[in-house]
Structure 1
Amino acid sequence: MKRDAFHTARAFIDSYFPDCQSAVLSGSVVRGEETPSSDLDIVVIDREPFRQSYYYCKWPVEVFVHNKDSLEDALFIETQHGIPLMTRLCAEGMVIKGGREAEKMIEEAKKSLIEGPCALPLNKLNELRYAISDNLDDLEGSERPEEDIYSVSSLTESLHQFILRSNQKWAGEGKWMYRSLRDYDEALAVRLTECLQSFYTRQEKGELIRFVDEILAPHGGRLFHDYYARF
C-alpha cells in the first residue's frame, strides 16, 4: 500500500463523514496492486446511500455510501446479477472506522465472495448461449474487419459470463473479466487471452471461434434452432 493511503483515507473520513458509523478502505491500494492512477475506494456506512467522487490531498477518492439496509440489498442483488462490486469492496476492506461492526461487515462479505453468486437459471444460460452463437455466426460470415472488432467485443463479454455463471462463479466488468476468469481457471483465461490477441494483432479469428465452440460443446453447442424466450 502507498505509504500515505490509509492515513489520507482516515483524514478524508474525518473531514467529510465525521459522524458515519463505519468506513473501510478497499481497492488496489489494499491489495498491493496500486498504479500511478489508482484511487482510494472507501465504503461508508451512514444514512442515505449514494456514490460520489472527490479529489483529496492529490488523491482521487471514490466513496460508496450505504446504510445497513441499502448495503444488505446491494449485496443480495449482486448474488443475483453475479458481479460482486460492493461484495468485493467490503470483503477486501481495511477498517478506518467502526471497530467490530466494520469487521463484521468485512467477514460477511468475505463469506459471500467465497460462496459465489446464485446459480443462473437455465433460461438465462440459454440467453447467453444464444447471444454467443449469434456473435459467432456473425464473425464467421463477416468480411468486414471493422465490424468484427465489435462482434468480438460483444462475444468476449457474453462468453466470460457464460463460463463463470454456468459454474456458479462471480463474473466481472472491464479488467475484472480477465481476473475473474483467471481466478476460476488460469489456463482457460490464458488461452482465451491468446485467442483475443491473435484476433486483435493479426485479425486471425479462427482460433477464437474454435475455442468458443469448445466451450459451448458440453452445453449442446451453438443455439439457434428452437430457441425460445418470452418478452
Structure 2
Amino acid sequence: MDQLSRFELLIGEKIEKIKNLTVLVVGLGGVGSYATEALCRSGVGRLILIDHDTIDITNLNRQLMALHSNIGRSKVEVWKERIKDINPECEVIGMQEFLTSETVEDLLFPYGIDYIVDACDTVDAKLALIEYAQTHHIKLISCMGTGNKLNATKVEIMELKRTQNDPLARVMRKKIRDRGLSDDVIVVCSKELPCPNESKVIGSTAFVPSVAGLYCASYVVNDRLSCEENI
C-alpha cells in the first residue's frame, strides 16, 4: 500500500491520468491553498504555483498553510516545502510573481499546462488567465468572490453567465464581453447575497473559501477522469 492506495481503490488504473497532470494554481490564499492541498494529496504529478505575496497574520483565519511560525515567509516557498512533505513525487514549480496581462505569456508559455485553477484576486489577472486558456486551449476553472459570504452550502460550480449575487462575476462578465472572449467559462461561485460590510476590507471565513478551493480541485480531477479519449 502507498499513500495514494485509498484513492486508487476508487479509480483504479486511472490514477496514472492524475499522476501525469500538470496543473497551474494562481493565487495561494483561502481558495488556492485548499485547491493546492487537494490536488497534491490526489497525486497530481506537477504543480505550478504562482503568488507574489507573503504570509500575513490576517491569513490565519482561512489560509491552509498560514501559521504563526511562518508569518512573513513567501507563500510559494512554504507550499514547496509542504508539498514535498506530503507527496515527494509531485514536482513543484514555484514563482513568487505578480501575474498580469503583460507577464502571463512569459510566465506560462514554457510549461505544458493541462488545467488552470484561477484563485487570484484581481480582475486583470483573471482576464489574463482566461484569455491565455482560451488562446492555448487549456481547461480552466475560475473562482469568483468568496469574501463577505457566510454560507458554504451556497457554493456551486457553474458557467460564468449563470452566476448571480456575485459582484466580481458581474464585472468579469462585462470585461469578457468587452474583450471579445467566450463567456463559456467554468467558475466556482456562491449564490449567497453578500453580507453587509461597511468596511473597505472584505470579510472572510474559514469555510467558504476552503469549500470553493476544494470544488476547484474536484473539478480538475473529475474532468480528467472523465476524458476517456485521453487515456
TM over 0.5: no
TM-score range, shorter chain: under 0.3
TM-score by length of 2: 0.22
TM-score by length of 1: 0.22
Q: Whose relative contact order is higher, 1 or 2, with alpha carbons under 8 Å and at least 6 apart?
A: 2
Kindly name which structure, 1 or 2, has the bigger radius of gyration based on alpha carbons.
1
More helix by share: 1
